Structure formats: structure tokens, C-alpha cells
Amino acid sequence: MEMKKFNVGLALLVLAICALLSLSPVNAYADTATLTLESAGPSYGGEQVYPYDFSINSSSTYTPLMCLSLNDKISFGETWTATIEKISSFTGTSLTEYEEAAWLFNDANIAIAANNPTRQEDDQWAAWEVFAGTVTTPDNGAATQLTAAQNAVSNGLLPSFYNNFVIYVPVSGSQPSGDGIPQTFIGEQNFSGGQTPEPASMVLLGTGMLGLAAFSYRRKRLA
């Protein structure tokens, strides 16, 4: 009888754990990450533009991010800590700006795939214009891309469009001393090689424990 109660209790416990795991996505991400700038894209208008390649949490797989802060400065090899905010769950006053940045980031990747470096570069400058507001762009292309992003957002992109984007906001004091404030970046959460998902093995472990408990309970009952 005691063994039966133990097995039933174990099964209920495992069921509760599995239920809790199912409530949060398996690919949930950590709240912070360590960013190290490894390289950047071509120079355009006197500034290097997207893509900025980062090692995230010391990953050997580099993640391309788009810079959103023209007025702040960073250097190659510089490391700092950033908080990770999902655009899909962001509720701050800058939500519209981040949504426009997501469109520009996505369009820059489309431009790269289409071998259109000019549009890629204009998307980067347009993103700087979104947040700085006083950027002197190298040509009229950035203004065109900014207008396209604003129109896309105001016309109402599907909410699911924003699910794949995250913002990396520097944590105050995490940069090297005297090196200024690091920049804010936007990227794709599913492409961030350094971010650590909740291990799917936990779900497998829970399922295995449940199966073991059920088997033991049935064997005891038949004995």
C-alpha cells in the first residue's frame, strides 16, 4: 500500500512539473546576455553599418545585430552585459520605434539576400534616424526606407511578425571603464547562438519519470 501511494504521488508530481514546463515556451530566453563585438559591416556615410557580428555569451557562432544608437560608441573586442527584451511583449513608450526597427532589420536581411547593399545600408541609417532623430543621412535612400517602415507599422503588421525580434539594451556600468555607453541593438531571437534555451531535455526527463512511475505502479498492482 505504501509503495502504491508513493508511485501515485510521484506520478502526480511529474505531471505537475510537465504542466509547468508546458506553460512556458521551450525556447524561452534568459533575461541578460554578454555581448562581444567581433566585426561590422561596410562603411557607409562615415559609419560602419549592419551587420554587426557578435559573440553572445562567448558563443563561437556569431550573431548579426543591427545598431540602434548612432550617438553611442563601441569598439571591436568590447564586451558588455545587455538585457534582452522581446518586442512582442514590450509595452514601453518606444514600442512604435522598436517595431519600425524590426521592419528595417528584416528588410536589411532581404536586401542582403537580393544583393542590394545600398538598401541594406539605407535601412541601417533609417534605424538610426528612428532613435536619434537628427541624423544627417548620406543620401535620400534612408528617408525612403524610414517612410516605408513607418507606413508598414502604421498600417498594422501582423502581431506574429514581431515575435522573432529582441532588443539588447546595455546594462549601466557593464562596459569597460571610461569607454562610454554601449549601443542598443536589435536581432532575431532564434538566430542568437549564444542565448540559452530552456533545455528540452527537462521535458523528456519528466516524460520518462512519468512512464517509469506508471510502469512501477502497474507492476506493483499486478503482483
My answer on whether 51 and 87 are in the same domain is: yes
My answer on whether 96 and 205 are in the same domain is: no
My answer on whether 139 and 115 are in the same domain is: yes
Q: What total number of domains does the chain contain?
A: 2
pLDDT at 64 over 90: yes
Mean pLDDT of 145-171: 92
My answer on whether 138 and 180 are in the same domain is: yes
My answer on whether 91 and 113 are in the same domain is: yes
Q: What is the C-alpha separation between 81 and 172, in angstroms, rounded?
A: 9
Q: What is the C-alpha separation between 176 and 138, in angstroms, rounded?
A: 31
Over its C-alpha atoms, the chain yields an Rg (Å, rounded) of: 23
The rounded mean pLDDT for the chain is: 78
Mean pLDDT of 18-45: 69
Q: What is the C-alpha separation between 37 and 176, in angstroms, rounded?
A: 13
Q: Which residue has the cell 507492476?
A: 219
pLDDT at residue number 16: 45
pLDDT at 183 over 60: yes
My answer on whether 43 and 91 are in the same domain is: yes
Q: What is the C-alpha separation between 36 and 123, in angstroms, rounded?
A: 23
My answer on whether 80 and 158 are in the same domain is: yes
**Pick from 175, 169, 168, 170: which is nearest to 191 by CA?**
168
Q: Which domain holds residue 6?
A: 1-28+198-223
* Percentage of the residues of the chain whose pLDDT score is greater than 90: 51
My answer on whether 104 and 186 are in the same domain is: yes
What does the CA dihedral 87, 90, 94, 95 come to, rounded to 10 degrees? Answer: 60
My answer on whether 135 and 63 are in the same domain is: yes
Q: What is the C-alpha separation between 145 and 122, in angstroms, rounded?
A: 7
Query: Can you read off the three cell numbers belonging to residue 51?
Result: 551587420
My answer on whether 123 and 210 are in the same domain is: no
Residue 16 CB partners (closer than 8 Å, separation 6+): none
pLDDT at residue number 189: 79
My answer on whether 56 and 132 are in the same domain is: yes
